Amino acid sequence: MDNTKIPIEDIKNSKKKINRIEPPHWWVGFKNTKLQLLVHHENIGAAEVSIDYEGVIVTEVHQAKSPNYLFIDLEISSSTKAGEFDIQFKLKNGKKLKHKYELKPREKSSEDYVGFNSSDVMYLITPDRFANANPENDSVEGLLETTVDRSNDYGRHGGDIQGITNHLDYIDDMGFTAIWSCPLLTNDMPKSSYHGYAITDYYQIDPRFGTNEDYRVLSNEASKRGIKIVMDQVANHCGLEHWWMKDLPFGDWVNYQKHYEENIDKWDYDIVKTSNHKRTSNQDIYASELDKKGMADGWFVSSMPDLNQRNPFMAKYLIQNSIWWIEEYNLGGIRQDTYPYPDKDFMSDWAGAIMNEYPNFNIVGEEWSYNPLLIAYWQQGNKNKDGYNSNLRSTMDFAMQRQIISALNEEESWDKGLVKMYEGLANDFIYPAPKDILVFPDNHDMSRIHTQLNGNIPNTKMALGYILAMPRTVQLYYGTEILMADFEKPGDHGLIRSDFPGGWNGDTVNAFTGEGLSEDQKGMQNYLKTLLNYRKNSKAIHEGKTIHFAPKDGVYVLFRKYEEEVVGVVINKTEKTSLDTDRFNEMNLNGKSLKDLVTGNQSNWGSSIQINAKGITFFTTKY
């Protein structure tokens, strides 16, 4: 493979202007006054660089292995004024080029970037499948995948950013306080590009989703409603068609790069060095170097090159990219994909750099593990035996998700059923901050909750109500509110990510308006709307003390308490309609007025209380 070749369109552009400088602009007033620019242009590597702007100093210029790159280190003093300046390039052949670069003023202070927390419930959206507001961007000429086919579960369906923006009132009315969208950056891949996890340009919104300006509008409109935007980012890998894969700057820009270059003409699943997926090697004190390298360096799949974050230029590139998106679009959080797969020391540096710049921000890392010990390892402040500190405030609670499913699907016995839920929550002693862990009933990579619970609506309501009352931050997947399921092919990703009804012209069912929904679907929608809107203002749920009582005779009871507000959740797998209260005397509820949020009934706490048979009772003393 000839790494000195660059795309023909880039060569044409090179006669007019610098092909690419990233980040495309920056800001004054950061705590970290250093900035590194990646410059990509034909034969730019030998150029001399100069900048004449007060407060901006070129401290070092780095050449790469490819002659088409330069990396420029800048020092931006704390007194530098916002403005534009020219970066001057004097090429080896004597020609001169210049690029106008902008340092913008910051719109708000670092402390004002407040990330998601335990007061929030995120609405997870697969954007291609939520709503198509602009059919004109469904197919974009020049991209590798241009077909739109709603009958193909793995093809593009046309959903876009404007579709989310147009339905912010629905999301707000339901009671969600944050939106996590699967990645929106360009995925110029030949197939299955809809999911967004094979990024081919880290600074561009995929034109089939809209423009960078559309993303700004979404962020601004969401902010007006008090809704935070959480960006799904991928530091572990990029897409095989990323522009730099045609002209890699260094010999170690991606892992197993030599193997890739030697086999580029026959690249397929048979020869790719994929990850061994042994995620425990990050914590295992006995892990072999072979297994640790196989985990961190292997490609996720053959179409997703594994980025080498040990390369210092790659590391700076990824850190600056995350900060750029936070600052440019007023983000309220980052969800980092495949968190245990990149170099773990880099991930600590990455999260640390962001949290140092934005102390009230938040990041959640995807650790798909059912072992709370592994989940806790990644949370900031955990006393890890190897001394590792992730700087990561939140990680994902796959362990509790599994326990909830088991608890509700199993028949009751001493070691099965609701005791799984009870003991799962009892594992919270391992977490430095349980309320910062992100819990969820399902997501875009697993069967929907209604499928996992075998279509049992009362059990689905019990799972969702319990999750919304737990000491956690919460994420719900779009369509959960209308019982979307994947019964035909459980676990099939294309089916899990089905279109949200009403998001396309001609849909006979519209979940945004309720038109065509079944009574069960409307019931679930109203149920969640009630609980979500109560949860918005419940200090007991956001930060209250948690007290739960071991399951007894098919009934499990959990309380959350903050000052005079008490929230109670009764999970009842029996036909009982009343519950003796002697066991709960320590809650000091005798004579207190209660409201059942599910039924709306009001009562007083006495020697017994009314509960819903084979279902959930969700009550509060504050209403």
| pLDDT of 451 | 98
Catalytic residue among 337, 428, 436, 486: 337
Which of 51, 82, 106 terminates a domain? The answer is 106
Which of 106, 124, 145 terminates a domain? The answer is 106
- Candidates 86, 72, 98; CA nearest to 16 is 98
Cβ 182 vs Cβ 153: under 8 Å:
no
Q: What's 599's domain CATH number?
A: 2.60.40.1180
141 and 208 within one domain: yes
Calculate mean pLDDT across residues 399-419.
Answer: 98
225 and 127 within one domain: yes
100 occurs within a structural domain: yes
Q: In the structure, what pLDDT confidence band is assigned to residue 270 with cuts at 50, 70 and 90?
A: low
Cα 616 to Cα 449: distance, rounded to the nearest angstrom: 16
Q: In the structure, what pLDDT confidence band is assigned to residue 7 with cuts at 50, 70 and 90?
A: very low
156 occurs within a structural domain: yes
Q: What's 68's domain CATH number?
A: 2.60.40.10
378 and 461 within one domain: yes
417: left (phi over 0), alpha (psi -120 to 50) or beta: left
Residue 1 has pLDDT above 50, yes or no: no
Q: Average per-residue pLDDT in the chain?
A: 95
What SS3 state is found at 557?
strand
Cα 281 to Cα 295: distance, rounded to the nearest angstrom: 7
SS (H, E, C) 539-552: HHHHHCEEEEEEEE
605 and 551 within one domain: yes
120 and 99 within one domain: no
| pLDDT of 5 | 43
Residue 55 has pLDDT above 80, yes or no: yes
pTM metric for this prediction = 0.95
208 and 189 within one domain: yes
| pLDDT of 4 | 39
Calculate mean pLDDT across residues 45-67.
Answer: 97
615 and 508 within one domain: no
304 occurs within a structural domain: no
Mean pLDDT highest for which of 13-27, 267-281, 404-418?
404-418
Residue 6 has pLDDT above 90, yes or no: no
- Candidates 210, 206, 202; CA nearest to 243 is 202
Which of 499, 516, 539 terminates a domain? The answer is 539
493 occurs within a structural domain: yes
What total number of domains does the chain contain?
4
Q: In the structure, what pLDDT confidence band is assigned to residue 585 with cuts at 50, 70 and 90?
A: very high
Calculate mean pLDDT across residues 50-55.
Answer: 98
327 and 234 within one domain: yes
466 and 368 within one domain: yes
Q: In the structure, what pLDDT confidence band is assigned to residue 10 with cuts at 50, 70 and 90?
A: very low
- Axis crossing angle, helix 519-535 with helix 457-469, rounded to the nearest 10: 10
23 occurs within a structural domain: yes
| pLDDT of 272 | 82
Calculate mean pLDDT across residues 361-369.
Answer: 97
302 occurs within a structural domain: no
Catalytic residue among 366, 428, 436, 596: 366
| pLDDT of 16 | 60
Q: How far apart are the first and last CA of the chain?
A: 68
State how far the alpha carbon of 132 is from the alpha carbons of 165, 180, 281, 490, in Å.
Answer: 11, 18, 42, 26
Residue 3 has pLDDT above 60, yes or no: no
CB-count exposure of residue 474 (10 Å: 0-12, 13-18, 19+): buried
Calculate mean pLDDT across residues 233-258.
Answer: 96
Look up the domain containing 248 and give its range: 244-297
Q: 209-225, pLDDT tens digit by residue?
A: 999 999 999 999 999 99
231 and 260 within one domain: no
83 and 143 within one domain: no
Q: Which run of H or E residues covers position 346?
A: helix 344-357
| pLDDT of 73 | 98
Residue 166 or 14, more confident: 166
| pLDDT of 539 | 98
Q: What is the DSSP letter of 279?
A: G
345 and 287 within one domain: no
Q: 474-511, pLDDT tens digit by residue?
A: 999 999 999 999 999 999 999 999 999 999 999 999 99
> Has 337 been annotated as catalytic?
yes
Residue 356 has pLDDT above 70, yes or no: yes
29 occurs within a structural domain: yes
